[in-house]
Amino acid sequence: MLFPTLPAERVIHIRPRSITLVVAIVLAFAIGLQIVLLAGQVIVWIFIALFLALAINPLVEWLQRRGVRRRGLAVSIAFGAVLIALVGLAAVFVPILVDQIGKFINAVPGYVRDLTNGKGRLGFLERDYHVVEKVEKAIKDNSAGKVIGVSNVALSLTRGVISVVAATITIAFMTLFMLLEGPTWIERFLALLPKKSAQRWRAVGRDVYHTVGGYVAGNILISLIAGTLTAIVLAILGVPYVVALGLLVALLDLVPLAGATVAAVIITGVAFTTGTWVGVIVLVYFIVYQQVENQLLQPLIYGKTVQLSPLAVLIAVLIGAKLGGIVGALAAIPVAGGIQIILRDLLRNRSAGATVVGRLDTDEPAPARPGG
């Protein structure tokens, strides 16, 4: 044979149904992305309400185990208790907090003057750049203000207050409805699946719930501990504005990785304005506390809820902060933990299916019986 035979051409047939499915998926993704971009604020509210519901739901389940059988009644008791506690704390601390924040803002020029006049090596800031005069002039101008500037600030402040009130009321109602109707919605979704798949995804959902709920409740508890201890230490050392600074630490400590460090830098800087040794003691306190929180509090409170490597935590926080700012950073770790649970279940079921197929392929037929 002088010429080798050419291999037959391979023809790939693509069904119209497959093309239609791909186009539908792309369109659905584009529409979903557009909805996310348009309703970004609402989605943030939904995430906040979801995390609050996950934080309150353990109390609801505890009440149901203690004799309150009806979920609606248990939700009402738990939600009311949390609401009363928040209103009580606000009534006690908000007036003090507002007063201390106002005094702190008025004292900023004095702090700058202390830092730039002989206390430390920052004197060049005043000599070369006149930082104190610029800060005092800015505060004076803002307090006196021009008519247009004052009106713009007042309008922005009014809008901000209205937005905060609307967001608070909306989030509160969404949290309540999620607590009331969440289990029903989950059961309706599982009812659409085959019985075997429903059992599997119910178990996955239970694991995700324990992971996310445990992290949210644990993060809030650790932040309260950090803020309270910091306020106590600052009060003992005679640092002013302990309530405002303790609240600042609690809020910043909610943010993974960077929040605690930022809080330590700010509070230590304020402590140094009170005295050198006070600043040193506060700095040592933050170093020691961070070790206690990382090595004792987080493993003890979180337990086995979120098991992510430091690299995974860093990547999740960076992506969450880029997509959703502070709220995205707060939601990054529990979301990453939930995704990890789902992926682990998918890989486990895939491995189990491959093992079964391998056994069926390698099984030898049973030997024939004599005389058969």
Which DSSP string do the residues of 29-95 spell out, in sequence order?
Answer: HHHHHHHHHHTHHHHHHHHHHHHHHHHHHHHHHHHHHTT---HHHHHHHHHHHHHHHHHHHHHHHHH
- In this structure, the number of other CB atoms found within 10 A of the CB of residue 130 comes to 13
Residue 18: pLDDT over 50:
yes
Most distant pair of Cα atoms in the chain: their distance: 111
* Tokens matching residue 267: 């509070």
* Sequence-distant (≥ 6) Cβ neighbours of residue 251 within 8 angstroms: 223, 227
Residue 136: pLDDT over 70:
no
- In the chain, the amino acid numbered 86 is L
- Rounded distance between C-alpha atoms, residue 323 and residue 47, angstroms: 13
Residue 38: pLDDT over 80:
no
The region of weakest confidence among 141-145, 180-184, 307-311, 352-356 is 141-145
Confidence of residue 370 (pLDDT cuts 50, 70, 90): very low
- Rounded distance between C-alpha atoms, residue 337 and residue 208, angstroms: 8
The region of weakest confidence among 100-109, 119-128, 227-236, 270-279 is 119-128
The region of weakest confidence among 95-109, 125-139, 245-259, 295-309 is 125-139
Answer for the pair 224, 93: CB distance below 8 angstroms, yes or no. no
- Rounded distance between C-alpha atoms, residue 108 and residue 143, angstroms: 14
Residue pLDDT, tens place only, 213-258: 777 778 888 888 999 999 999 999 988 888 888 888 888 888 777 7
- Rounded distance between C-alpha atoms, residue 204 and residue 55, angstroms: 19
Q: What is the mean pLDDT of residues 40-44?
A: 75
Residue pLDDT, tens place only, 318-359: 777 777 677 777 777 787 878 888 888 888 877 766 565 555
Task: Choose the most confident range, by mean pLDDT, from 104-108, 139-143, 200-204.
Answer: 200-204
Taken as a whole, the chain contains a residue count of 372
Tell me the pTM.
Answer: 0.62
Handedness of CA 318, 320, 323, 326 (dihedral sign): negative
Q: What is the mean pLDDT of residues 11-28?
A: 71
Residue, of 346 and 370, whose pLDDT is higher: 346
* Tokens matching residue 240: 């002013």
Residue 170: pLDDT over 80:
yes
* Rounded alpha-carbon distances, angstroms, from residue 363 to 185, 352, 369, 370: 44, 17, 18, 21
Ordered DSSP codes for 153-189: HHHHHHHHHHHHHHHHHHHHHHHHHHHHHHHHHHHHH
